[in-house]
Amino acid sequence: MHRYFTDQRHEALRHRVRDFAESEVRPRIAEMEANRSVCHDLSRLIARQGWIGATVHRAYGGMGAGHVAKTLIIEELSRVSAAMGAMVQASQLGVAKIVHFGSEEQKKTWLPAIASGDCLPTIAVTEPESGGHVLGMSSTAVRDGDDYVLNGRKIYVGNSHVGDLHGVVVRTGEGSKGLSAFLVESDTPGFRVGEQQPAMGLHGFSFGELFFDNCRVPAANLLGREGDGLSVAYSSSVLYGRPNLTAVSLGIHQAVLDETTRFCTERQRYGKPLADLGNIKLKLGRIQSRLLLARLSAYHAVHLLDHGLPCDAELMNAKLVNVESALESARDAMDIHAACGLFTDRPVERFLRDAHHIFAPAGTSDIQLLRLGELALGRAQGDWSSRLADLLRLEPSEWPEEDEVPDEVPDMAPADPPVTVRTDGTTPTVPGQRTGPAHRHSWFARPR
């Protein structure tokens, strides 16, 4: 095992994502920062790499690589562009609801399209009046024959302007059992996306408003059963939202360290590099120390997820530690850069702006502390990692065969491994799921 719960396969994937981020994403940052608009083409290019399907089983055309792999994908993209890391995490968050609550037909219909990059999913829960109080939402869905008619408004929806399939949680009744979740395609009559608003950071990423005005959705698009909406919202936030945002913060944090050490090495003071000053070394040491702790907490939590072990508390703590430490380190970096950090020719001010965007989603730091306090008092609720352990656990059959793993990152995609076929001509069924397309993709296969 490599450091931080990764192995050779993970590290080969990390190098591939890093190479892509440097060659395809970094050259676009200046344009995204200047325009402050959604970067549609780059979002699609990233999706076509297959990384949105990191946790989608290989029987459905996904990577079947698990949450550790998902984390390093988001981290490496965020190290170069937190906006594009946020784009990937938001759609991977959108995967959760289908994996956890989708019917067999929904999985067969949508997961292969998501894994191939043809469909970008989202999840829409937050509303203007209720904010993070899920039970306070007022958007509704009313049954009308074979359809449901949706009315209402959602805000702060990640990938709002590039999403193809929105997972929308609305009211179908009263109380905690009165929430339900639906899949709404972006071209559905009665659905529209609000105008994009300028934001502090994450330029190139969209998190806007969705409007539903007598939006008619087939009853077949109901996720799970009526009344499952609260479970859809909470489980997606805890098991995907928190670790995904943790990974974005981790990528920003790494970028802060990389850029600040480079600046201190190159910048001269009193005839010597700035890095030779004792007070600068102390600040760099604090950044490095925070980053080591943040990385350990991030990967330990998702390692537990991949093994189907209880880890709600670790996921909360990882988000808390990573968000807070990235912000603290970005502030230290600004102190070190001083006036140089105020100009946009250096990226450190962008890192600080972007880091602030990761604070609120999936619960602010106070929310994480509140839940951890309840855990300390023996009053913890939810335990989603245990309840959905069978769907989270990375089965041995999902991993690439050892002979698929290259010694170095390959220039060309290796041939796909053979598919196991029973004597009756069928392929094995994924436990608890219907087998989808039999074509299996290596982690290292490049998009065709």
pLDDT at 245 over 90: yes
Between 415 and 59, whose confidence is greater?
59
pLDDT at 207 over 90: yes
Q: Find where tokens 């999706």 sit.
A: 47
Name the E strands within 366-419: none
Q: Are 42 and 204 in contact (CB under 8 A)?
A: yes
Band of residue 405 on the pLDDT scale cut at 50, 70, 90 = low
Model confidence over 115-168: pLDDT tens digits?
999 999 999 999 999 988 999 999 999 999 999 999 999 999 999 999 999 999
Total Cβ atoms within 10 A of residue 208 = 19
C-alpha span between 348 and 108 (Å, rounded): 43
Q: Find where tokens 């991030």 sit.
A: 298
201, two tokens:
């950071």
pLDDT at 408 over 70: no
C-alpha span between 421 and 423 (Å, rounded): 7
| Radius of gyration for the chain, computed over Cα atoms and rounded to the nearest angstrom | 22
pLDDT at 439 over 70: no
pLDDT at 432 over 60: no
Give the Å distances, CA to CA, from 402 to 15, 388, 395, 405, 417: 18, 28, 15, 6, 11
User: Is the pTM above the cut of 0.85?
Assistant: yes
pLDDT at 415 over 80: no
Q: Find where tokens 């991993």 sit.
A: 399
C-alpha span between 404 and 411 (Å, rounded): 14
pLDDT at 85 over 50: yes
Model confidence over 24-66: pLDDT tens digits?
999 999 999 999 989 999 999 999 999 999 999 999 999 999 9
Share of the chain above pLDDT 70, in %: 88
**Burial of 216 by CB count in 10 Å (0-12 exposed, 13-18 middle, 19+ buried)?**
middle
pLDDT, residue 397, reads: 54
250, two tokens:
């981790």
HSE-up (13 A, CA, CB side) for residue 362: 28
pLDDT, residue 381, reads: 86
pLDDT, residue 3, reads: 75
Model confidence over 355-394: pLDDT tens digits?
999 999 999 999 999 999 999 999 998 899 999 999 999 8
Return the amino acid letter for 245.
L
Model confidence over 255-307: pLDDT tens digits?
999 999 999 999 998 899 999 999 999 999 999 999 999 999 999 999 999 99
Between 380 and 76, whose confidence is greater?
76
445, two tokens:
């296969």
**Distant-in-sequence, close-in-space partners of 58: CB < 8 Å, separation ≥ 6:** 64, 398, 440, 441
Model confidence over 153-180: pLDDT tens digits?
999 999 999 999 999 999 999 999 999 9
For helices 242-266 and 278-306, what crossing angle results, to 10°?
Answer: 160
Among 385, 326, 391, 318, residue whose Cα is nearest residue 356? 326
